Amino acid sequence: MSGITNILDIAARSLLAEQLGVEVTSHNLANVNTQGYCRQKVNYVTANPVTSPWGLLGTGVKIQGISQAFDPFITAQLNSKSSLLAYYQTLETSLGKTAALFNETEAGGINHLLSQFWEALHDLADNPSGLGERQALLARAQTLSEAFNSRAEGLVQQRLSLYQQIPPVLTEINDHAGRIAELNKEIVATEANGQQANDLRDRRQLEISQLAQLIGISTYTSGDGMVNVTLANGLPLVQDVHSYTLSAGLTPADTVEIIWAGPGGTTKPVAAADLGGKLGALVTARDLTIPLYQQKLDQLARDLLVAVNTQHSQGVGLNFFDETTGSYAVSDPDAPLSGAGLPFGDRIVSGSFELHVYRGGEHLAAASIPIDPSFSLNQVVTAINTNPVIGGYVTAAVENNSLKIVANAGTDAFAFARDDSNALMALGINTFFEGSNAYTLGVKVWVLDHPEGVAAAQIDGNGAVAAGDNRNALALAALEDAAVTASGQTLAAAYQNLVTAVGLEVERAGQQENFYQGLVEQFTQMRNSVSAVSLDEELTNLIKYQRAYQAAARLISVADELYQTLLAIRR
């Protein structure tokens, strides 16, 4: 009904409405720096009108509720791009540390050390009997081997470091998922009366945003206001008021396995491609990128070892052998050499090597020992011991599953030549390097102890070794420019390709990081334009609500004056 009472009712509702506006504005101002906070506003509608003789008469304002400025599409895009940004940031950081291992700008770079190694071989070729040149060669070979070792160890430590970072990330993921589920429960309980729990929703959205940086996720909202979170492969991480956990372990192949633990004890592995975020980058760098570099570095070390040892085994040092034992052992002396566990057994081909016997420094006898990949080590031993020419001068045996050859007489010695089967290299007989990969590469201990054993010379067709012969040293030095790698390149070119590949991978990760950084900033600006608190706008609203409150208070004064006038007439 109309009248002075209606004016008072309108004024009272207006006072309450404008007071609420001031309170919400104060709440916005107080949270201007709160992470994840979405600006709130009071939703006003006109109150239901009443019937009067003059038509429907308004009854003032009605508070419909308090809403938050939130755009789900922009937020979803921001979370998606934040996940990709975190992925490439982590990947760029991890690969940057890896790239530092291959810094070729320093004197200790492998290409620089390779050049020094080849130079030492050239120096030996200039003076094949020089002990100083031999010791210099061994020193540079050791330094080169240690450079391979240190880089291999660095890659192993990098993988270990990445694995150690995974459990804390999983703990964060599980904690965020648990808090989201708890907030789902609180929000449903709070909103049971029909009012929106804005602050709880902000806290939940902040948890989701932080979770998205750790792992790639998708979200969808159910009709009751709960947010469900799933992984890229569809496995639920949060389902209504329940959360599920992730854990990590190592497989027999030394790869990280992320395990999802669902309801009823259900467990499923999550592939690296389905992770994303910081966690995805850690697993990718550890199990995909760095192992690829390890394989290439190992292959380079193997190519160096095979090339040098194959050529070295063709020559002789300053002294002949009175006995020698191979560096490599077979798993079974009766198994074929190609399948007996030799690191380079796959390089053995059908052919032969020459075994020369000397007495008192003079050539005594020579024989060609046939080799085939199908031969066992015991068969090789038998072939040497039963050879009609040299069988009485040397004795071959299997010692600790390695080939051992000993001269029978104290005045006798022996040497090797013209091996076209690669058997001497594969068995580690008369070789320079030992090991089987970048981590184990090293100069053969016997050679280090016997510098005179460096094979700089070669046996001629008559079994003699000419004084000052440097043919094998020249052949070893010529490997610098030979395409000896599995990729058909020189060792220097193959290593440079590895360094370039590492650098390009880091550069690509950095470029992707910059790209997604720009997108995140763009979507952050879009979100802020919708949800962030503007001090200028809120101060304007504060003044507006203040003036409206003052006007409503004045309206009460006017209504009071009207009452006073009526009462005065009665008196």
Tell me if 506 sits within 8 A of 321, measured CB to CB: no
Cα angle at 297 between 293 and 300, to 5 degrees?
A: 140
The partner residues of 405 in beta bridges, in order of sequence, read 324, 396
User: Would residue 298 be called left, alpha or beta, if left means φ above 0 and alpha means ψ between -120 and 50 degrees?
Assistant: alpha
Question: Any idea what DSSP says for residue 317?
Answer: -
In a domain, 54, yes or no: no
Residue 291: both structure tokens together: 């192992």
User: Residue 240 belongs to what domain range?
Assistant: 176-286
- Cα(424)–Cα(288) distance, integer angstroms: 35
Q: What is the pTM for the complete model shown?
A: 0.87
Query: How many other CB atoms are there within 10 angstroms of residue 129's CB atom?
Result: 16
Under DSSP, is residue 111 helix (H, G, I), strand (E, B) or coil?
Answer: helix
In a domain, 136, yes or no: no
In a domain, 398, yes or no: no
Q: Tell me which of 286, 310, 339 is where a domain ends.
A: 286
Mean pLDDT in the chain?
Answer: 92
Q: Tell me which of 286, 307, 338 is where a domain ends.
A: 286
Confidence (pLDDT) at 538: 84
Confidence (pLDDT) at 2: 62
- Cα(59)–Cα(335) distance, integer angstroms: 102
The partner residues of 260 in beta bridges, in order of sequence, read 246, 268
**Contacts of the segment 112-115: beta carbons below 8 A, 24+ positions apart:** 113/140, 113/143, 113/144, 113/147, 114/144, 114/480, 114/491, 114/492, 114/495, 115/480, 115/492
In a domain, 264, yes or no: yes
- Cα(414)–Cα(387) distance, integer angstroms: 15
Q: Which residue has the tokens 């210099």?
A: 136
Confidence (pLDDT) at 223: 78
Cα angle at 178 between 176 and 184, to 5 degrees?
A: 100
Number of domains in the chain: 2
In a domain, 479, yes or no: no
pLDDT digits (tens, 9 = 90+) for 208-256: 999 999 999 999 988 788 999 999 999 999 999 999 999 999 999 999 9
First to last CA, the chain: 26
In a domain, 194, yes or no: yes
In a domain, 448, yes or no: no
- Cα(532)–Cα(523) distance, integer angstroms: 13
Residue 299: both structure tokens together: 């292959």
Average pLDDT by stretches of 10, the chain with 571 residues: 76 87 89 89 86 78 87 91 95 93 81 95 95 96 96 96 96 96 93 85 94 94 89 93 94 94 92 94 95 96 97 96 96 95 96 95 94 96 95 95 95 95 97 96 96 96 90 96 91 93 93 95 91 87 88 84 80 61
Q: Tell me which of 286, 317, 332 is where a domain ends.
A: 286
- Cα(86)–Cα(277) distance, integer angstroms: 5
In a domain, 102, yes or no: no
